[in-house]
Chains A and B, each alone.
Chain A
Amino acid sequence: MKRHELLRGLHHVIRPRTYLEIGVNDGRSLALSSVPSIAIDPAFKVTSSLCGPVQLERTTSDEFFARPAPLKFLPRPVIDFAFIDGMHLSEFALRDFMNVERWTAPTSVVVLDDMLPRSVEEAHRDRKTNAWTGDVYKVVQTLRILRPDLLVLEIDTAPTGTAMVLMPDARSTTLSENYDRLVKEMVVPDPQEVPAEVLRRRHVIAPEKLLRSGFWGQLQSLRARSRRTNQSDVRKALHDADLARPLR
């Protein structure tokens, strides 16, 4: 399954009320959203027909999220579904996730693109290949080590894999507290040491299986109820749907 097919399916099963996208390019993924959306890219060149109310921002994601009320366009300042496909360097992708997470609820879903490079060359920080993931795969490793409260799923999409983060916690400061140390560890000369398990996609979940999961119906129910949903509610739903198995 290709990345855009996965995104189309996720829009269908998540039924988000709001959507945010970092890295718009020609707008193919943005075109899949029909709900109030914010799309950020310093150099977008949208050629697809868009079908929902959208705020297109020609700026960097860092600068967008530095604003006092970045989500004021949305009917409510919570991102139900986010797709991160911005700068393909690990420290940028990590900042994108940190920025997005501050505006999430535990029921929000964050998808990151290009998380499964197929070769060491594709994972170079200095782009050498046509299809380029850069070293953003490091974000998955970082989240698994520093944020065991999250569920991070690697999804076997073509061409360069995606990752999904569930149970985000907008109040968490763990990543920002460790950010400077992480930059020191992440920004290293090419070639990058891409783990074999990433290159061989050892821990991936099939996108078809993910989309068929009963979790999505429970997620919608949790989002709709009046009582405030916390991470443990979502964790229980993931456990019930057999998606919460540890992936280390």
Chain B
Amino acid sequence: MASNPPVRLPLSYVRRTGPTIHLQLQLGGSDALPETGKVRLVNGGRVLEGSARITESDVTGRLLSADIPAGSVDEGRWLVRVAFGADPAETDFTTVAARVLIAAPNPISLLLGKTTPEEVPAERSGQADPNPARRAAAVLGRAADRVLSELPPDKAQASRERIRKTVRRILP
């Protein structure tokens, strides 16, 4: 089985043509790859599968192109799983570091990365947490941060961990 090559963005895209989703992935790596493969778009228990062709040229590098019947595709983030060879086994499919985002009325989008980047809370959003205990904890946390900033980094980090554990035990 060929190893899973990295996906490069410059010539990678996804678009929809009528009932078909066309996916092109520009592949890095130098391992030899067969000329055919399979691509699956996976969202929970839903799986859409299409055949893939792998081509290579000096201009484009290695491209994997797949036409996947859109079928029951609907909104959400779809993982991209790839297997190489004409008749790959179930265990040959591996998830590549790219995902397809379908969000009507937006166009279909190809994004790099296997998962959604973590969303962080607003730094100074002005939107207070409705839970008074968590609001108080946030105020104490900021006060603790000011005090701990005077300590050496390793000691500050250890103290932060102790404070966090204590707060998690107290908060609902």
Where the two chains meet, the residues of A that have a C-beta atom closer than 8 Å to any C-beta of B are 42-43, 46, 50, 53-60, 62-63, 65-66, 73, 87, 89, 91, 95, 98-99, 124-126, 173, 176, 179-180, 183-184, 187, 189-190
Contact = CB atoms under 8 A, between A and B. Distances in A.
B138 to A, nearest CB: 16
Contacts of B106: 62, 65-66, 95, 98-99, 176
A176 B125 CA distance: 32
A168 B10 CA distance: 29
B85 to A, nearest CB: 27
Given A187-B11, A189-B11, A58 B120 contact: yes
A54 B60 CA distance: 41
B103 A62 contact: yes
Contacts of A50: 123-124
A78 B116 CA distance: 26
5 contacts: A53-B126, A65-B103, A183-B107, A187-B13, A189-B59
Interface of B: 8-11, 13, 15-17, 24, 59-60, 75, 77, 101, 103, 105-107, 109, 111, 113, 116-120, 122-127
Contacts of B16: 180
Nearest to A94: B107
Contact of A54 (B8, B113, B116, B123): B123
A189 B122 contact: no
Nearest to A134: B10
Contacts of B122: 54-56, 73
A176 B127 CA distance: 34
A176 B103 contact: no
Nearest to B123: A56
B17 A73 contact: no
A174 to B, nearest CB: 12
Given A62-B101, A66-B106, A73 B117 contact: no
A53 B128 CA distance: 12
Contacts of A184: 15
A41 B105 CA distance: 22
| Chain B interface main SS type | loop
Contacts of B103: 62, 65-66
Contact of A56 (B11, B101, B107, B120): B120
Contacts of B119: 57-59
Given A53-B126, A54-B125, A184-B15, A89 B118 contact: no
| Chain A interface main SS type | loop
Nearest to B118: A58
Contacts of A60: 111, 117
Contacts of A89: 9-10
Given A57-B120, A73-B127, 20 more contacts: A43-B117, A46-B123, A53-B124, A54-B123, A56-B122, A59-B117, A62-B103, A62-B106, A63-B117, A73-B122, A91-B13, A125-B10, A126-B10, A173-B105, A180-B17, A183-B13, A183-B15, A187-B13, A187-B24, A189-B60
Contacts of B75: 66
Contacts of B77: 63
A125 B8 CA distance: 11
A57 to B, nearest CB: 6
Nearest to A188: B11
B11 A98 contact: no
A95 B107 contact: yes
Contacts of A56: 120, 122-123
Given A89-B9, A189-B11, A66 B107 contact: no
Nearest to B60: A189
Contacts of A65: 103, 106
Contacts of A126: 8, 10
B10, B60, B123, B127: which has the most chain A beta carbons within 10 Å? Answer: B10
